[in-house]
Amino acid sequence: MGLFDRFKKLVVGNSSETLPTQPAVNIKKHSQPMQQHGITTQVIHNIPTEVAELMWFFDGPMKNLDAETEEPSGISFRLPVKKASAPTRMGYWPSYHKMSPTERYSYLNWLTNVDQPIDIGYVFVFFYGLERMIATPKHDAAVKMIHRLKEHHNESGSFSSYSDEALAYAALLYHDPTPLQYIRGTNTSMLILSKATFDHRLTADEIMSSSRGFGWDNTRYIKNEHELFEHNLLVCLQNLYKQDYYPIPNLLDQVPRTQLHLANLSIATDERVIDLGIIDGYHWTTTMRIPKRIDIPDFSQSKIISRDIQQLLKIAHEKTKEDLAKMRKNGERPKAAAKKPSRKKRINPDTGYPLSTEKAIACARELYKSTIAVHPQQLTGNPDYDEEMRIVDHVLPHYRLGDLQYKLGEWKEAETEWISILDLMGALAAEKLAIMYHKQHRYKDEMEILSAGMKVSQRSKVYPIPDKFADRLIAASEFYVKHSTEDESETFHSASGHKNSPDDAAHMTKQN
């Protein structure tokens, strides 16, 4: 535990918390009869006590939340619930109050056995409440439940990452390393945090799976010659350390920190007022909510560990390269065919559409999170300004969510989000759709969506026509004329239901 005692001192500033002196949760025994009637009460009666005691309620005999509290997992008996034959897929950052009646039934029914498979969105709703429960006397039970969810719902990389961060939060909050033993994700910082606390070692397999986290990008042999590379890495470990693992050093005085965020945006958020300056004669400001931040020691960035791991990987890489050359010379392996370097596209297996890089996805996700965390602008009494801010507050979450879905390869969902704001955002939303339509060979749709976006922006004070947008529309129109035989367009409708005509685009082209 000595290493944990040292690095816990690094937890400062926003990551430190004052533990509640009185129990923050006062849940009545689950066996007590409820006064409410209906499906909600019936299903909740079937939820095991160990699960029910970790849930949050806005009303009823199990009430433990004030009405003003923002908690996505909070249950109200006043919300309608309707039986469903099968769970539907949830969107991003789901919450109980935003669910449809049938989705609420699916969620409550799943809580009767949280081990059973279900769309990960439902798991996240329960997990949000567990994150809040960590700061209460029930934190040990919450940690064990998070571990249970990780064991049975390990198909989602996003859930794996967020749950690991919640476990680190619990460990640092109570200066107790126990939650770290449940970390199972692929985040190198979290893995080393766990391993440095408990068995103080990294196996060959762990080094290989985390190689990129240590700055080793040449993973060709790790992927294609896994067994040979692992054998050479084990030999290297034996030669350098006289054992089949890498011993994590005890003397790590200066360890960099990395900042993590909890998934539940309603927990312990700060508010920051951002001055946007004078725009069109108005003084613009916006209030942004900052999610809970956690500073943790980032052992993967330790110069000592990074140097050692990179040395191990380099030796194993060179030995694997040498072995393969000898095997090919002896006819034990076919000679590698000369190939032109190619970039293999990442594809979403569920949709067949391209996936962006993990970095681009993470950036889009953070932009969306920060957008939905901002409170709506308060009324100022200036009708023009208030109307403009109403539009901004409405369209930005849809715009950011569409961008995230596009990068995740969920193009149909992205199209729905962007079309829903076309009649308010105009050219900016149209440009996003046009890019996607062009990649789908929907050239006529590309031309029409740009025409529709221009019409909206011509009369919009909030989102006017961008520079060179007319040229963009002309180019799309000309491209459609030349490639009309290759066109695979579908019919699209604006949010108001107006079907756009190709004649509109052609007329716009002539005008410009």
- How does pLDDT run along the chain (512 residues), one tens digit per residue? 444 454 444 333 333 333 333 333 343 334 333 333 477 888 888 999 999 999 999 998 899 999 888 899 999 999 999 988 888 887 767 899 999 999 999 999 999 999 999 999 999 999 999 999 999 999 999 999 999 999 999 888 778 888 988 998 898 888 888 898 888 766 677 777 777 777 788 889 888 988 887 878 888 899 889 999 999 999 999 999 999 999 988 765 567 777 777 888 788 656 666 555 555 566 666 555 566 667 777 777 778 888 899 999 999 999 999 999 999 888 887 665 555 555 567 888 888 899 998 888 988 888 888 888 777 777 778 888 888 888 888 999 999 999 999 999 999 999 999 999 999 999 999 999 999 999 999 988 998 899 889 889 888 888 888 878 888 888 888 888 778 888 888 755 444 444 443 333 333 333 33
Tell me, what's the pLDDT at 235? 95
As a whole number of angstroms, the distance between CA 457 and CA 474 comes to 16
Containing 63, the helix (H) or strand (E) segment is none
DSSP 47: S
3-state DSSP call for residue 491?
Answer: coil
**Structural Rg of the chain based on CA atoms:** 27
Would you say 43 and 101 are in contact if contact means Cβ atoms under 8 Å apart? no
Domain spans in the chain, listed from the N-terminal domain onward? 1-172, 199-256+298-336, 358-511
What is the signed CA dihedral for 27, 373, 153, 91, rounded to 10 degrees?
110
Tell me, what's the pLDDT at 497? 42
Alpha carbons within 13 A on the beta-carbon side of 237: 22
Tell me, what's the pLDDT at 406? 94
Q: 322 CB contacts (<8 Å, ≥6 apart)?
A: none
CA distances from residue 61 to 43, 44, 133 in whole angstroms, order as listed: 15, 12, 19
Measure CA 297 to chain center: 22
CA distances from residue 205 to 45, 133, 183, 234, 494 in whole angstroms, order as listed: 45, 34, 16, 9, 52
For tokens 């293999």, the residue is 344
Would you say 399 and 414 are in contact if contact means Cβ atoms under 8 Å apart? no
Q: φ, ψ for residue 186 (rounded to 5)?
A: -100, 0
As a whole number of angstroms, the distance between CA 373 and CA 440 comes to 33
Its sign, for the CA torsion 215, 216, 222, 228, is: negative
Orientation angle between helical segments 383-407 and 427-439, nearest 10 degrees: 20
As a whole number of angstroms, the distance between CA 193 and CA 165 comes to 11
Tell me, what's the pLDDT at 401? 94
Q: φ, ψ for residue 41 (rounded to 5)?
A: -60, -40
Residue 71: other Cβ atoms inside 10 A: 21
pTM of the predicted model over 0.75: no
